[in-house]
Structure 1
Amino acid sequence: MALCRSRHNGKKIAGRKRSIVTDTLGLLAAVLITAASVSDSAAGLPLLTTVAAAQPTFTKAWADSAYRTTAIDGAAKAGIDVEVVTRNPATRGFTPLPRRWVAERTLGWLMLRRRLARDYEALPSRSEAMIHIAMIDLMSRRLTGENTPTWRGT
């Protein structure tokens, strides 16, 4: 399981932060939509406790350094071992981080949906529903082998 957030990285912007938990294939296990001002550690704790309660088979998670001690300690109490994946400071340019790239790839798949990329939704619950619909569409296209063009191809 990989824990990730969308790319607001401490910027002072109005909007939402999408925190997701995926399995090792990149399929969505849980999602939490919060205000962009909410810290990643504060969002990670309820997300991991939700996953632990709903899917007790998850025992290991990989996260970035934004999910600090609060989320890690809370996940340990719920029975999930969280390993922080850090970037090597000597590395230059883009380098996919082990295990973390799975969640980043899932966020990339979600951003292929115009409604999620532009964030038209007024309520966080609607934004969460659109994420679930996008994942349902992705999984059904994989099962059927259909390759439907996205809005970017037009």
Structure 2
Amino acid sequence: MSARRPYPSDLSDARWELIEPVLAAWRFERRRRALDIGRPPEHDLREIINAILYVDRTGVQWRYLPHDFPHWNTVYGYFAKWQKDGVFAQLSGLLRELVRQQEGRNASPSACVIDAQSVKTSTSVPATSQGTDAGKKIVGRKRSIVTATLGLLLAVLVTAASVQDSVAGTHLLDQVAAAHPGLRKVWVDGGYRKHFVEHAATLGIDMEIAARAPGTRGFTPIPKRWTVERTYGWLMLHRRLARDYETLPARSEAMIHLAMANLMARRLTGETTISWRDPASPNEVHIPG
């Protein structure tokens, strides 16, 4: 890696050790299939992933990447290739298994939580991939995620905000059930309709609606569902996710997988996540659980 001053978003040596094998395997496979296998690699993969993390954490436009990173066009090219080849989802999945094992859990979960979040979009997002969430009065996109009970991401689907929660949830549940055959329980909110309950039953999964207790006033964490809400809070530490800036929904999903991979890598190495929220320290706060 070049001798530049590190940014707070840069990978530490410990986190790079967790991520490097996946990126090195990707490069080896790409070069194995390429005709220029004799040519040495031109770019440092650690610097490339550091630059992508910088975008994810700060929300800066690709063209505004600091000049001590590789050229923004090169960085974006790697980001696009890694998204297309599923590298970010692979990283997220591998690190999730390591965190679960560290917590004394089975690598594959038996229960999960599904929720959706509607967000506004930037002017770079095509109108054809947007919609209106009538309930929340938001024009933009919807992020539907599935998390295990520890709040770790299992799957994500980005759609137009007009897509009904049950429709997106059905696609996600199929994906998660195929990847985790031992899944037997899912918690959702009241926005998921009867056909989603019936679909879950056909997969051998018991669906339960976790709702606020009658008469509850003010903010009260909802049993089981609070974990997925906490996950959205973790994701919001990455300014790129404050709204949807990506032209393609698949690129939005990649940014979410990368954010979760970054958080889980920090959790595995015991490192802190930088935030402005901690009054005791202007630079760091530890993300629990």
- Shorter-chain TM-score bucket reads over 0.9
Task: Return the alpha-carbon distance in structure 2 between the equivalents of residues 122 and 100 of structure 1.
Answer: 30
1:120 to 240, 245, 270: 245
Partner of 1:37: 162
2:127 aligned with 1:2: no
Which runs of 5 or more structure 2 residues have no equivalent in the other structure? 1-111, 120-132, 284-289
Task: Return the alpha-carbon distance in structure 2 between the equivalents of residues 21 and 67 of structure 1.
Answer: 14
Local SS of the residue matching 1:140: helix
1:87 Cα deviation after fit: 1.3
Partner of 1:72: 197
1:123 Cα deviation after fit: 0.9
Q: Do 1:49 and 1:74's aligned partners in 2 also have CA atoms closer than 8 Å?
A: no
Local SS of the residue matching 2:155: strand
Larger Rg: 2
Partner of 1:61: 186
Partner of 1:149: 274
Aligned-residue Cα RMSD (Å) equals 1.7
Partner of 1:130: 255
Task: Return the alpha-carbon distance in structure 1 between the equivalents of residues 169 and 250 of structure 2.
Answer: 17
Q: Do 1:12 and 1:37's aligned partners in 2 also have CA atoms closer than 8 Å?
A: no
Worse-superposed segment, 127-136 or 2-11 = 2-11
Task: Return the alpha-carbon distance in structure 1 between the equivalents of residues 153 and 223 of structure 2.
Answer: 18
| TM-score normalised by structure 1 residue count | 0.92
Task: Return the alpha-carbon distance in structure 2 between the equivalents of residues 97 and 129 of structure 1.
Answer: 28
Percent of matched pairs sharing the same residue: 62
CA deviation digits over 1:73-101, x for unaligned, max 9?
11111121110111123011011110000
Divergent runs of 4+, >6 A = 151-154
| TM-score normalised by structure 2 residue count | 0.51
Letter in 2 for 1:23: A
Q: Do 2:263 and 2:273's aligned partners in 1 also have CA atoms closer than 8 Å?
A: no
2:231 aligned with 1:106: yes
1:7 Cα deviation after fit: 4.8
